[in-house]
Structure 1
Amino acid sequence: MDNRMVSLFFLTLPMIGVVESHGLKQAAVNGISKIKNLSAGKIFNLYLAIREITDAMGIALSGQVQFIRPLINPMAQAAASVKKPLTDKQVDLIKARAAATDNFGNFFSQNLFIASSGVLLMSSTMKSLGYTATPANIVLYSIPMAVITFLITAYYNRRFDKQFEI
């Protein structure tokens, strides 16, 4: 009975299905198609910035199923298909890039919050091994990796956009 909260993730897929069936995906596509000069790479960079900032504040966006599939991927496809329709290969590339951007943002910024489980686990493990590693030090040393990841991924996303230019 104490662990019933663990099963809450079972609600994720039905909730995404309900939201999509009521038009969230189409609303996102319509909104993006009205904005000029927005590209898939720019959407990915904006999402990456939001992902890293929210991770630093201890807010989890929940990633692939809850955020990438219903929102980021359709918005990126809509932005990329403004000038001409996308091929199946280009659609697959956008899906993969959306997932990769989420993975980069999550993996390299998950230790930016001092009370995150990973930071606390590393700190307690290092302490039990006789090393001095405070949660603040772990966060401090995680910041450069998050910044470097953002810069490299943002550059790669800009290059990714070149594939969709005429």
Structure 2
Amino acid sequence: AEAKYGDVPEEDREEIRAQAAAADNIGLFFGEDIFVAVGAILLMKGFFDQNGIKADPISMALWGLPTAIFVFIVHSIRLRLFDRKLDRKLGKTGSKDVEK
């Protein structure tokens, strides 16, 4: 943001940090759901085995794939809208002209 707009007001800087943290959390959470060798799938496999339910880790990961794709699309839209918001706020005048 600083490379694109120059000085960024603290309020916007905090919102950028929040969006970056959200992207990281979403990526890690749903990435775990579709990667077989990570604890979430193995934990579910163990739980199902203890309760006599046949479950295949590959199938569980594949069932998580549509949700992960949907979340990726939704969050991509959110980030794009946030980027447009920053462009409207900081892009035209630049942060040097924005009163603090």
Q: How does 1:13-162 map to 2 (within 5 A)?
A: 77-79=1-3, 82-162=4-84
Q: SS at the partner of 2:8?
A: coil
Inter-partner Cα distance in structure 1 for 2:44 and 2:23: 25
Q: Which runs of 4+ in 1 moved over 3 A?
A: none
TM-score, structure 1 as length reference: 0.50
Q: Which has the higher contact order (CA 8 A, sep 6+)?
A: 2
Inter-partner Cα distance in structure 2 for 1:78 and 1:130: 55
Q: Deviations over 1:119-148 (max 9, x none)?
A: 111011112112122101111111111111
Tell me if structure 2 keeps the 8 A contact 1:111–1:119: yes
Tell me if structure 2 keeps the 8 A contact 1:127–1:133: yes
Inter-partner Cα distance in structure 2 for 1:151 and 1:78: 26
Unaligned runs of 5+ in 1: 1-76
Inter-partner Cα distance in structure 1 for 2:19 and 2:60: 29
1:83 Cα deviation (Å)?
3.4
Tell me if structure 2 keeps the 8 A contact 1:109–1:142: no
TM-score, structure 2 as length reference: 0.79
Inter-partner Cα distance in structure 1 for 2:18 and 2:5: 21
1:111 Cα deviation (Å)?
2.0
Distance change >3 Å, CA 115–CA 84, structure 1 → 2: closer
Inter-partner Cα distance in structure 2 for 1:118 and 1:151: 22
Unaligned runs of 5+ in 2: 93-100
1:159 Cα deviation (Å)?
0.2
Aligned length: 88
